[in-house]
Amino acid sequence: MQFSVYQESRIGARKINQDRMGYIFTRDALLLLLADGMGGHLRGEMAATIAMQTIGTMFQQQATPTIKRPERFLEDCFYAAHREIHRYAELHKLPETPRTTIVACLIQHNEAIWAHCGDSRLYWIRKGQVLTRTQDHSRIASLVSQGKVSANERESHPERHKLFNCLGSSNAPIVETSRRASLMPGDVIFLCSDGLWSVIPDHLIARKFTDNTIVRVVPELLNKAISVAGINSDNATALAVMWLGSNSLKDDSTISTNTLQVGEVTSMIQTEPNDGGGVIGGTVDDKEIEKAIEEIRNAIYQTNRLQFPKE
């Protein structure tokens, strides 16, 4: 399995970067993750961190070296992350539960399958064209699809920021999963938060990947998003993978997993994103994040031991 990968995050004009991103892989499976903590609720960055760590831990435990039931795995991961966010709120006696959007993509056997809750997006791009993308779980997207609001009104509509689906809400999340997509060498899987896609049209995003490396495209898109939005810019985060399959073409961002052993897992999940445009601040310190992550791992370990006892 060979692929090129690059990820980056920008704080924009916000005081806190609540976006989180990362990828984790074995010899034969790759998982991409991006979460956008919801700023209208308390500790959105913590909800995003918990979601990333919960899903990453479950991948590490179940990818041996592939995931047996991809659709079920993604659903189970999202539900587990939702529960862990609620458990965190209860343990810390928070007045409300933190919330986050989430998008995840699992690639194995030259196939990709993805799932999402909220308005963090995934694009499947081939030769500068968007083959498909996720549909936002937002009020404005629903109104546009119903023909009640024109697409041109999206940016100015009073309900443009309202989501009806996320992790951490009082209702269980609705996990929307895709069909399995057969990847070809050169295909790009692009995950991003609304701080990017809300100011750059889909066709321009796709066009950027034509004859350009992802290492160059991702920073350019982030720079453009921050520049266009100006003083109103949101956190902007992007993660791109160019699928190479078994091709031998390589650059500095190419990863080949052929030398990995069965059971070996490499994780590049960032709980504090390496921001390219300013200092990242937050209401949660490193010790609290580490404690929450350890609690997540222990809880998942105990759950899996009860569900799958050794013979």
DSSP 109: T
pTM above 0.75, yes or no: yes
Position 157 confidence tier, pLDDT thresholds 50, 70, 90: very low
CB atoms within 10 A of CB 263: 11
Instruction: Quote the percentage of the chain above a pLDDT of 90.
Output: 68
State the virtual CA torsion across 153, 133, 211, 275 in degrees, nearest 10: 80
- The answer, yes or no, to whether residue 105 has pLDDT greater than 70, is yes
Q: What's the rounded mean pLDDT across residues 154-179?
A: 81
Residue 281 has what pLDDT?
A: 34
Give the largest Cα separation in the chain, rounded.
59
Run of H or E residues at 302: helix 286-307
> Would you state the structure tokens that stand for residue 13, as one six-digit string?
């004009």
CB atoms within 10 A of CB 109: 13
What are the E-state strand segments in the chain? 2-10, 19-25, 29-37, 100-108, 111-117, 121-126, 129-133, 176-177, 181-182, 188-192, 236-245, 254-256, 266-267
> Would you state the structure tokens that stand for residue 68, as one six-digit string?
């047996």
Residue 282 has what pLDDT?
A: 39
Distances (CA, A) of 199 to 79, 135, 174, 276: 30, 16, 26, 18
**At a CB cut-off of 8 Å and minimum separation 6, what does 8 contact?**
218, 219, 222, 237, 238, 274, 276
Contact, 247 vs 255, CB < 8 A? no
Q: What's the rounded mean pLDDT across residues 47-73?
A: 96
Q: What's the rounded mean pLDDT across residues 224-237?
A: 96
Q: How far apart are CA 154 and CA 271, in angstroms?
A: 31
The alpha-helical segments, DSSP class H, found in 24-122 are 44-62, 70-91
**Which amino acid is present at 118?**
G
Per the prediction, the chain carries an average pLDDT of: 85
pLDDT tens, residue by residue, 66-78: 999 999 999 999 9
Burial 149-181 (b: 16+ CB within 10 A, else e): beeeebeebeebeebebbbbbeeebebbbbebb
Q: How far apart are CA 41 and CA 96, in angstroms?
A: 8
Q: What's the rounded mean pLDDT across residues 180-193?
A: 97
Contact, 240 vs 190, CB < 8 A? yes
Q: What's the rounded mean pLDDT across residues 139-149?
A: 61
Distances (CA, A) of 143 to 40, 52, 134, 146, 147: 22, 30, 16, 5, 6
- CATH code for the part of the protein at 2-305: 3.60.40.10
- The answer, yes or no, to whether residue 225 has pLDDT greater than 50, is yes
pLDDT tens, residue by residue, 211-223: 889 999 999 999 9
Position 296 confidence tier, pLDDT thresholds 50, 70, 90: low
Q: What's the rounded mean pLDDT across residues 254-279?
A: 75
Residue 145 has what pLDDT?
A: 61
Residue 117 has what pLDDT?
A: 97
> How many H helices and E strands in the chain?
7, 13
Contact, 101 vs 166, CB < 8 A? yes
Residue 289 has what pLDDT?
A: 57
Instruction: Quote the percentage of the chain above a pLDDT of 70.
Output: 77
- The answer, yes or no, to whether residue 304 has pLDDT greater than 60, is no
- The answer, yes or no, to whether residue 48 has pLDDT greater than 80, is yes
Residue 73 has what pLDDT?
A: 98
